[in-house]
């Protein structure tokens, strides 16, 4: 069995942002040489998420509005975590809502995604570089 590991870096300009990373993950699959296997894509930060969904701007807006409604940033004092001096408790909760990571099938040397499926990095405490782990195993 082959194993391949790669880290990619994403930099967001806004605190909350969704970045399509499908092509970068596909490139890692190509470099791995794995034809049949699994691909784990995992943000290496506790205030971000990797998920699969439709590549549509209205949906990105809906994700942002929905997560903000369920875990609003302000008032900052509403969260016990922020008593530590942090101001990002909402980002931890939003990450939980959107999920931590995704595991994707590899078939024929490519991601085995559905018709409208794309891979996204979701950032909830951004404006700096963040790492994403891609771990591929298979034959």
What's the structural domain count of the chain? 1
Copy the structure tokens of residue 101.
């990571």
CATH number at residue 121: 2.60.120.460
Domain range for 48 is 2-138
pLDDT tens digit string along 37-51?
999 999 999 999 999
Q: Using alpha carbons only, give the angle 10, 12, 16 rounded to the nearest 5 degrees.
A: 120
Minimal CA–CA distance to 49: which of 100, 91, 13?
100
pTM: 0.96
Q: What are phi and psi of 128, to 5 degrees?
A: -160, 170
Q: What is the pLDDT along the chain (139 residues), one digit of tens a residue?
A: 999 999 999 999 999 999 999 999 999 999 999 999 999 999 999 999 999 999 999 999 999 999 999 999 999 999 999 999 999 999 999 999 999 999 999 999 999 999 999 999 999 999 999 999 999 999 9
């Amino acid at each position: 069995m082959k194993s391949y590991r790669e880290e990619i870096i994403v930099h967001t300009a806004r605190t909350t942002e969704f970045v399509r990373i499908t092509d970068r993950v596909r490139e890692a699959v190509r470099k791995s040489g794995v034809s049949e296997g699994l691909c784990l894509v995992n943000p290496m930060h506790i205030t971000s998420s990797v998920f699969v969904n439709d590549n549509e701007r209205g949906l990105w807006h809906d994700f942002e509005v929905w997560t903000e409604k369920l875990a609003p940033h302000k008032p900052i004092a509403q969260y016990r975590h922020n008593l530590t001096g942090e101001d990002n408790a909402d980002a931890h909760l939003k990450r939980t809502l959107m999920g931590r990571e995704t595991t994707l099938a590899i078939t024929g040397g490519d991601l085995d995604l559905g018709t409208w499926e794309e891979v996204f990095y979701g950032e909830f405490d951004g404006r700096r570089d963040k790492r994403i782990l891609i771990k591929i195993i298979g034959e």
